[in-house]
Amino acid sequence: MATQIIMDHNGDTRHTFDAKDAKALLEAERRFKALTGAGFTAATRTASGEPVVRRAFDPTAEETLFFPRLVGG
């Protein structure tokens, strides 16, 4: 099962889906595009644990983290 984790004011919201299910994958891709289009950054981790920013939907990613746009505080 793959997971999309979206940071929000509740801590985070998680969407788990079966990457082998075409419909679920399509929904995950739609969510990815909607979030990145809204300014969220998508990141995954390499096998060694280093973060990588994703500009396009990766159907093989087991876990994708989304965080809101960064602004000066």
Distance separating alpha carbons of residues 38 and 59, to the nearest angstrom: 20
If you write DSSP's letter for every residue of 16-43 in order, what string do you get?
EE-TT-HHHHHHHHHHHHHHHHTTPEEE
Paired tokens of 34: 């909607």
Residue with Cβ nearer another protein (39 or 59):
39
CB of 46 to another protein, least distance (A): 11
Residue found under tokens 């060694």: 48
Residue with Cβ nearer another protein (8 or 21):
8
Residue with Cβ nearer another protein (13 or 20):
13
Residues that bind another protein (CB under 8 A): 5, 7-12, 39, 41, 43, 45, 49-53, 65, 67-73
CB of 4 to another protein, least distance (A): 13
